[in-house]
Amino acid sequence: MERIKFTSPVSGVVSDIVRGAKRKILEVVIEADSEIDYKPFEKRDLASLNRDSIIQDLLISGLWPVIRQRPFSTIANPNEEPKAIFISAFDSSPLAPDNDFIFHGDTDLFQLGLDIVSQLSNGTTHLNVDGNSNSAKVFSNAQGVQINSIYGPHPSGNVGVQIHHIDPINKGDVVWYIAPQDVLAIARFFKDGKYDASKIVALTGAKVKKPRYYRIIQGMSIAPMITDNLLDGDKRFVSGNVLTGTQINQDGFIGFYDFQISVITEGNYSEFLGWLLPGFHKYSLSRTFFSWINRKNEYDLDSNTHGEERAFVMTGQYEKYMPIDIFPVHLIKSILIEDIELMENLGIYEVDPEDFALCEFACTSKIPVQQIIRRGLDLIKKECS
C-alpha cells in the first residue's frame, strides 16, 4: 500500500497542514503558482500497455486513488485483483451533475479511458447507464465493456446498488469502481503524459443565485465559485450532494471524489409547536403533514433535523428506499451490538453508507444511519485485517 502516492494537483507551496484527532491529516493546503508546472511523464505506447504497467503508471502519477474498492469504499489495493470493475455513468442523487452534458465531445477520450481501465481486471468491466432516459452516445456506444441499463429513482445511480444486482459481493470478493470523470483523467494521463487534475463540477442548491458548471482543478477552494453568487441568509456548504456530502466552510475545498457543491439553507431555527401544526409547506415522504394536499415540485429543504433522535419505533420505513435484498434495521442493530458474524450474515460487505442515505432522510427516529454503517465497516475492516 505504501506505493500509493498522492500528487499535488497544482505546482506551488504548502501553506498549511490541518490535522484532526490523533493527528490524522485532514487537509494539506497548497498555494498554487500563477502558472502550473507539470512534472512530465514518459508517454506510453498505448498498444503495449499491460495490467502491471498501467498499475505502475497510475501509482507513480498519483492517479491511483481514483480507483476505489468495495467492500469498505477505500482506495483499491494495487496488489489485489478485483473480480469486476464498475463505472456508474450517471448520478441519481439530488441536483446531481448531468454526465451526458459534461462528457459532450469527450467520446474518444472516454473510450481510451475504458480501454485502459478494463485491463485492470480479468473480470467484466461494467458501464452502468441510466435506463430512465436515452443516455448520451459517449456511454451507450462504448466498446469493450458490458453496458447495463439501470432503471428507477435514486439510489439507482449508486454503484453499490448496481453491484448488488449485477454481480453481488460475497465475503472475500473485491470489486473496484471508478467515477466516470476519473476515467477521463486516466485517459488524459496516458495520452498527454501529465497529471491533469481538472474536472467539471456543478454548483447547486437553493442558496445559489446562478447554478452552473465549473471546470476546476482537483481540491480547489470553492470561494471563487460562490463569490457574488449566493442568496442571503444562513447557509450550509456541502462538498458533494445533500444526502452524502461533507460539510465544508465557505472557503473550504472540494472533496477528491466529489463532483458537486451544494449550498442549502442552514436550518438553525426553532419552530413553535412545529410537530402539531398542519404543515402545508413541509416536505415529507409520508402524508403526516398536510403538504400532501398541494405537492409542489420545489421545496427549500434546509439542514434542520425536524426533531430529535429516538429509539427505533416505526418499521418498514427503510425498506421502501432500500433496493437491496437486505434487512437494513437488523443490519444496523447488529452493528450497534458489534456482532461481527451477524453483520457478515446480514450482508455488510454489500453496502456503503451512501446506500442508506435515503433511509436516513426518511427516518422518523432521526437515527444517524450512515454513521452507524461506516462504524460497522470500519470495525469489520479492523477485525479482519
Rounded Cα distance, 172 and 327, in Å: 21
Window of 35-43, 56-64, 69-77, 342-350 that interacts with another protein by CB under 8 A: 342-350
98 or 319: whose CB is closer to another protein? 319
Taking the least distance from each CB to another protein, the nearer of 101 and 292 is: 292
Stretch that binds another protein, among 32-40, 144-152, 222-230, 357-365 (CB under 8 A): 357-365
**H or E stretch including 341?**
helix 340-345
Q: Exactly one of 279, 339, 340, 379 binds another protein (CB under 8 A); which one?
A: 279
Residue 122 interacting with another protein (CB under 8 A): no
Distance of alpha carbon 129 from alpha carbon 148, whole angstroms: 6
Report, in Å, the least distance between residue 71 CB and another protein. 14
Could you give the 3-state DSSP secondary structure of residue 342?
helix
- Pattern 232-261, another protein, x by CB under 8 A: ----x-x---xxxx-x--------------
Q: CB of residue 281 vs another protein: minimum separation in angstroms?
A: 9
Q: How far is the CB of 198 from another protein (least distance, A)?
A: 27
Nearer to another protein, 97 or 180 (CB): 97
Looking at the Cβ atoms of 256 and 327, the one nearer to another protein is 327
Interface with another protein (CB under 8 A), residue from 50, 143, 227, 270: 270
Q: Record the cell numbers describing residue 113, joined without a space.
A: 479511458
> Measuring CA to CA, how many Å separate 40 from each of 51, 61, 175, 196?
22, 10, 31, 11
| Rounded Cα–Cα distance for residues 354 and 369 (Å) | 10
Check residue 330 for interaction with another protein (CB under 8 A).
Answer: yes
Cα–Cα distance measured from residue 62 to residue 181, given in angstroms and rounded to the nearest whole number: 16
The site for another protein, by CB under 8 A, has a size of 70
Q: Could you tell me if 142 and 106 are in contact, meaning their C-beta atoms sit under 8 angstroms apart?
A: no
Q: Does 337 bind another protein (CB under 8 A)?
A: no
Q: Determine which residue in the list 347, 351, 355, 376 makes contact with another protein, applying CB under 8 A.
A: 347
Residue 56 lies near another protein (rule: CB under 8 A): no
Query: Up-side HSE of residue 21: CA atoms within 13 Å toward CB?
Result: 0
Three cell numbers at 166?
Answer: 449485477
Q: How far is the CB of 266 from another protein (least distance, A)?
A: 6
CB of 59 to another protein, least distance (A): 30
Taking CB under 8 A as the criterion, the residue among 5, 39, 209, 366 binding another protein is 366
Which cell numbers hold the place of 1? 500500500
Query: Is residue 123 a contact point for another protein (CB under 8 A)?
Result: no
In order of 32, 148, 193, the CA distances from 106 in angstroms are: 27, 20, 18
Closest to another protein by CB, 191 or 330: 330
Show contacts with another protein in window 287-316 (CB under 8 A): 287-289, 291, 301-308, 310-316
Of 114, 175, 174, 176, residue with least CA distance to 145: 114
Assess 357 for contact with another protein (CB under 8 A): yes
Picking from 235, 309, 231, the residue whose alpha carbon sits closest to that of residue 268 is 235
Strands, DSSP E only, in 89-197?
124-130, 146-150, 175-177
Residue 153 interacting with another protein (CB under 8 A): no
Instruction: Decide: is 223 part of the binding site for another protein (CB under 8 A).
Output: no
* Alpha-carbon Rg for the chain in angstroms: 22
The reply to whether 38 sits near another protein by the rule CB under 8 A is no
The C-alpha cell of 67 is what?
480507483
Note whether 216 binds another protein by CB under 8 A. no
Q: Which three cell numbers stand for residue 201?
A: 463540477
Amino acid residing at 37: D
Tell me whether residue 115 or residue 354 sits nearer to another protein (CB atom): 354
Provide the β-strand partners of residue 86. Answer: 126, 177
Angle at 95 between CA 72 and CA 310, to 5 degrees: 60
Interface residues toward another protein, by CB under 8 A:
168, 170-171, 236, 238, 242-245, 247, 262, 264, 266-276, 279, 282-289, 291, 301-308, 310-316, 319, 325-327, 329-330, 345-347, 353, 357, 360-366, 368-371
